[in-house]
């Protein structure tokens, strides 16, 4: 059986710890984290700060990995309670990689290395989770690191391209906007899905550059479209960490002369999950510029109807998972109906994502949904094709 577990813990913070590191508030926060970590341990366990916002815990003795899973759950719940630091309420989370002895290594060096690889895997899963080390993680980490380097280059060498997916009015089928969706044509791997490279960009800090690139490309494209067609751009929650988001948006609009009212920013509820005043303030700044704000992927993740009350969105995009099941026996159609009703009562429109069949379209029409997007009408297509479609 196993004898000990090494946990490699990386603290994540919704408002960047990195910004706070070196400032008194970051130090105090990390001291608080260390205290709570220790509070989860037994006398025989050990915790150490590895530097930056990383910690190691050695849990010993253990009988099997379920004891470690339990400890991880305790650590997560301890760390997820907000911290009161010098008058600020800061919420943190942690990604955790785990290596076990003797199966994953016999000396501490090797165990830490493998726990770090597992941590890398945990972050790849969409951070704030945990992973046990597995054979093959080494290879995957290498692939990921090389993708990260190549992505950095792709931004400048033209292998990134924005495709556009039309969003149409359900009633008359007219195109009201087009959503910019990134495509990466990799020289060896072919097309890489944004579902794969956006998380890498978020992890490596490249997302700001990437977001800026797509924003500028989309605005420049949209000026060639008829005046009544808007362009929608996805904005990662991470981009809300930067104070200059609103400035960048204003600059992109000005650079190509696109009226703000023709730009729509799609954000996910992750932006609103924590009581993050700065993010909410940024949303208001963006709104003041005159751009429209849509709540994307509604119904997934942490969704709750209460998010709809935190900010006066212009539009709610109902996640594909509800549309897929809408004709089925489950609650999907009642949920869509509820969202449509709430939206209508608050002057928001609704867009159904991932509409693939006539049957889905007809049901959505009956339920009162405003717009739809999906393969039934068109997938995301290259800019030149969208232009042809719009100008024909």
Q: Which is nearer to ligand C2E, 25 or 367 (CB)?
A: 367
Closest by CA position to 349, among listed 172, 176, 224: 176
Q: How far is the CB of 74 from Ca ion (least distance, A)?
A: 20
Cα(146)–Cα(192) distance, integer angstroms:
14
Closest by CA position to 379, among listed 218, 183, 184: 183
Cα(103)–Cα(99) distance, integer angstroms:
8
Among 25, 26, 40, 53, interactor with Ca ion by CB under 5 A: 53
Q: How far is the CB of 104 from ligand C2E (least distance, A)?
A: 33
Q: How far is the CB of 180 from ligand C2E (least distance, A)?
A: 6
Q: Is residue 196 involved in binding ligand C2E (CB under 6 A)?
A: no
Q: Which of residues 197-226 bind ligand C2E (CB under 6 A)?
A: 198, 211, 214
Could you tell which of ligand C2E, Ca ion, none binds residue 3, using a CB distance below 5 to 8 A set by kind? none
Mask: binding to ligand C2E, 142-181, rule CB under 6 A, as x and -?
Answer: -----------------------x--------------xx
DSSP 241: G
Q: How far is the CB of 354 from ligand C2E (least distance, A)?
A: 4
Could you tell which of Ca ion, ligand C2E, none binds residue 10, using a CB distance below 5 to 8 A set by kind? Ca ion
Q: Is residue 269 involved in binding Ca ion (CB under 5 A)?
A: no
Closest by CA position to 318, among listed 237, 137, 334: 334
CB 37 within 8 A of CB 47: yes
Could you tell which of ligand C2E, Ca ion, none binds residue 214, using a CB distance below 5 to 8 A set by kind? ligand C2E
Q: Is residue 234 involved in binding Ca ion (CB under 5 A)?
A: yes
Q: Is residue 356 involved in binding ligand C2E (CB under 6 A)?
A: yes
CB 242 within 8 A of CB 16: no
Cα separation values, 187 from 150, 154, 159, 190, 209, Å: 10, 10, 8, 6, 21
Q: Which of residues 287-316 bind ligand C2E (CB under 6 A)?
A: 296-297
Among 211, 296, 355, 363, interactor with Ca ion by CB under 5 A: 296
Could you tell which of ligand C2E, Ca ion, none binds residue 354, using a CB distance below 5 to 8 A set by kind? ligand C2E
Residue nearest to ligand C2E (CB): 374
∠ CA 17-22-26, rounded to 5°: 45
H helical segments located in 205-357: 207-222, 245-256, 270-273, 277-289, 307-310, 320-324, 332-345
Q: Is residue 236 involved in binding ligand C2E (CB under 6 A)?
A: yes
């Amino acid at each position: 059986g196993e004898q000990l577990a090494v946990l490699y813990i990386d603290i994540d913070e919704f408002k960047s710890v990195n910004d706070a590191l070196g400032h008194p508030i970051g130090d105090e926060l990390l001291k608080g984290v260390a205290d709570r970590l220790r509070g989860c341990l037994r006398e025989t366990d050990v915790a150490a700060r590895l530097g930056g916002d990383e910690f190691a815990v050695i849990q010993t003795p253990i009988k099997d990995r379920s004891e470690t899973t339990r400890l991880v759950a305790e650590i997560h719940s301890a760390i997820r309670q907000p911290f009161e630091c010098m008058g600020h309420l800061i919420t943190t989370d942690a990604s955790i990689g785990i290596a076990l002895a003797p199966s994953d290594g016999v000396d501490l060096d090797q165990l830490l290395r493998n726990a770090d690889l597992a941590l890398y895997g945990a972050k790849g899963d969409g951070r704030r989770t945990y992973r046990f080390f597995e054979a093959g993680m080494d290879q995957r980490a290498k692939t990921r690191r090389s993708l990260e380097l190549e992505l950095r280059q792709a931004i400048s060498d033209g292998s990134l391209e924005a495709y556009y997916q039309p969003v149409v009015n359900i009633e008359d089928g007219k195109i009201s906007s087009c959503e910019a969706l990134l495509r990466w044509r990799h020289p060896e791997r072919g097309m890489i899905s944004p579902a794969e490279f956006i998380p890498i960009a978020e992890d490596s800090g490249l997302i700001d550059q990437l977001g800026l690139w797509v924003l500028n490309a989309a605005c420049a494209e949209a000026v060639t479209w008829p005046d009544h067609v808007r362009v929608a751009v996805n904005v990662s929650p991470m981009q809300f960490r930067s104070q200059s988001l609103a400035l960048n948006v204003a600059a992109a609009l000005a650079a190509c002369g696109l009226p703000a009212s023709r730009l729509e920013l799609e954000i996910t509820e992750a932006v609103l999950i924590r009581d993050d005043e700065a993010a909410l303030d940024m949303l208001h700044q963006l709104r003041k510029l005159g751009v429209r704000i849509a709540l994307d992927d509604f119904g997934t993740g942490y969704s709750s109807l209460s998010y709809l009350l935190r900010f006066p969105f212009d539009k709610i995009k109902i996640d594909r998972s509800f549309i897929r099941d809408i004709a089925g026996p489950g609650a999907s159609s009642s949920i869509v109906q509820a969202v449509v009703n709430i939206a209508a009562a608050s002057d928001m429109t609704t867009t159904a994502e991932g509409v693939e069949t006539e049957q889905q379209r007809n049901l959505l029409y009956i339920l009162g949904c405003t717009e739809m997007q999906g393969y039934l009408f068109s997938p995301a297509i290259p800019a030149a094709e969208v232009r042809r479609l719009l100008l024909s």
